[in-house]
Structure 1
Amino acid sequence: MKYLSYFIVAAMLLLVAACSSVPVTGRKQVLLVSDSEVLTLSLQQYDEYIKSAPKSANAKNTALVEKVGRRIANAVETYMNNNGMGDLVANFSWEFNLIKSDEVNAFCMPGGKIVVYEGILPITQDETGLAVVLGHEVAHAVAKHSNERMSQQMLTEYGSQALGMALDKQSAQIQQIGSVAFGLGSQYGVTLPFSRKQELEADELGLIFMSMAGYDPRQAASFWERMSAASGGGVPEFTSTHPSDATRIKKINENLPKALEYYTGK
């Protein structure tokens, strides 16, 4: 019993030590996995996927995805560096790819590896619409949602009393847990299984990040309305298991005043 008590106290101390804050929103999160381990695993998964994924043959659209993605990433890095948070993105290696597929989808891997499917472009319609999508994906990376998801998976799978065992064998366990957290599996999963809280946070941060890059955040709600219409009013694949369209659009409109404070294109 004494050992168990010591173990529980140690586990609680570890959780406190593992607490971090999401940039800009300030939300507290528990990150039990080191950035280096997350990036190593995600890069392995991403490289495997990207080698087999058919790249878009449309040079104009490919260049646009790269342009918008880089513009947002550069604006975010500048903000982080100017506000004493540069270390949070120091190890990122941004990459933006357009994949030949009719799927209405996009996804992000840790460290700034972002993929957009051609099928979403008719809904983005223009550069600003694309900035809504890429701002959202950049937000997932900066907020370290994958790391948080892996940490949640560890806690769920092992329970608080087994946390020490999970962390003692962290490298071996991360390979198994990571494949679930990243949602890749045999078909790569394409969208990470973020919680509704993380999705709404990515929406909020995405508005701010696109604003930093000079894209009008007031266009975001229109994009999500088009997404809703394209899915017949249901939840599209891009947002599967995520907030309803109505909730998402409501929150976006509520967050607009804050995002406009960062808007450089006024």
Structure 2
Amino acid sequence: MKLKFTTSAVIAAVLTLTACATSPTGRNQVLLYSEDQLAQMGSQAFTGMKEELKISNKSVSNDYVQCVADAITAQVPSTVFSGEWEVVVFDDEQINAFALPGGKIGVYTGILNVAENQHQLAAIIGHEVGHVIAEHGNERMSQSTLINVGSQAVGQVLAANEVPQSGPIMAAIGLGMQVGVQLPFSRTHESEADVIGLQLMAKSGFDPRQSVNLWQNMDAASGGERPMEFLSTHPAPQTRIDNLQANMQAAYADYQAASSRPSCTR
């Protein structure tokens, strides 16, 4: 019992050593890295991807993605990024896209087969930019740093007390962190990015109702091949749809009030 208390106390002490912040949706965050550090990391990662992956040379697709991205990023606060966003279309059948700190957006051509129109593509890009606005990359790296420090401290406690089977105990702690902390944290980030992305696309003049259609398409494209939500880093499609619909009224009001209606064509 004494050891159990000591182990829990060590983890609690580590997790309270935080640099506190608040996300755009009002959620408390732990951010240990500076904006400059994240921007540098994002730029380095993006450069590496451009060197390793094939970049699309289809001007129609590139112009289409750029058009949607320009409308979305125009709504990003200058405190997040004030420069010109770099947008690259990768010639790859992955159904994926991403945005990185430092104003970087990557879209894989595979996702253009799932996003049927500019509104659905705006939902995707808005979601990815939402991760940047909410500093989810910083938060995940900060969480990983704290967990690693905590795990090392627990290992030292077990060794100091000469606890039998300390290896399996540490493995169990690692699994508990993954299922109990890291995976739910990732699902929270995804849900938060969905809401931020919904706001971005609506304020940019894209129909937010199409975000629901997008996730219906994404569900169909997955063919049902996904892990149960409890063990997944992403919410189930229906969970995402329910979350989007719960925030749709406010988003649609923003859409109706938007000063422009983009016309991005393939």
Q: TM-score range by the shorter chain?
A: 0.7 to 0.9
Pairing 1:60–2:60 present: yes
Equivalent residue in structure 1 for 2:81, among 74, 89, 114: 89
Distance 1:72 1:100 in 2: 22
User: Which runs of 4 or more aligned residues in structure 1 lie more than 4 Å from their structure 2 counterparts after TM superposition?
Assistant: 7-14
Distance in structure 2 (CA, Å) of the matches to 1:36 and 1:12: 24
Aligned residues: 215
- Are the equivalent residues in 2 in contact too, given 1:11–1:161 (CA < 8 A)? no
Q: Give the TM-score normalised by structure 2.
A: 0.73
CA distance in 2, matches of 1:242, 1:234: 13
Q: State the partner residue of 2:20.
A: 19
Aligned to 1:104: 95
Aligned-pair identity (%): 41
Q: CA RMSD in A?
A: 2.7
Number of the residue aligned with 2:163: none
SS in 1 for 2:79: helix
Change in CA separation of 1:13 and 1:121 when aligned onto 2, cut-off 3 Å: closer
Unaligned runs of 5+ residues in structure 2 are 1-9, 154-183, 260-266
- Letter in structure 2 aligned against 1:36: D
Which residue number corresponds to residue 47 of structure 1?
A: 47
Instruction: Give how far 1:246 is off.
Output: 1.2
Partner of 1:241: 233
Q: Closer, same or farther in 2 for the Cα pair 1:104/1:9, shift >3 Å?
A: closer
* Separation in structure 2 between the aligned mates of residue 8 and residue 67 of structure 1, nearest angstrom: 47
1:32 paired residue number = 32
Query: Which deviates more, 120-129 or 43-52?
Result: 43-52
Is the Cα contact below 8 Å between 1:11 and 1:160 reproduced in 2?
no
Displacement of 1:19: 1.0
**Which deviates further from its counterpart, 45-54 or 66-75?**
45-54
> For the Cα contact (< 8 Å) 2:14–2:146, is it kept in 1?
no
Kept after mapping to 1: 8 A contact 2:195/2:244: yes
In 1, Cα distance between equivalents of 2:38 and 2:218 = 31
The residue matched to 1:33 in structure 2 has which SS?
Answer: coil
Larger radius of gyration: 2
**1:198 aligned onto 2:189:** yes
2:94·2:109 contact (CA, 8 Å) conserved in 1?
yes
How far apart are the structure 1 equivalents of 2:66 and 2:185?
A: 24
CA distance in 2, matches of 1:110, 1:194: 19
Residue 10 (structure 1) shift: 9.7
Residue 125 (structure 1) aligned to one of 116, 127, 149:
116
- C-alpha separation between the residues in 1 aligned to 2:61 and 2:12? 54
Give the drift of 1:150: 0.5
Q: 1:9 to 1:28 in 2, by over 3 A?
A: closer
Query: Which residue is equivalent to 2:135?
Result: 144
**Paired letter, 2:216:** E
Supply the distance in 2 between the matched residues of 1:199 and 1:221 (Cα, whole angstroms): 15
Between the aligned partners of 2:98 and 2:58, the Cα distance in structure 1 is 19
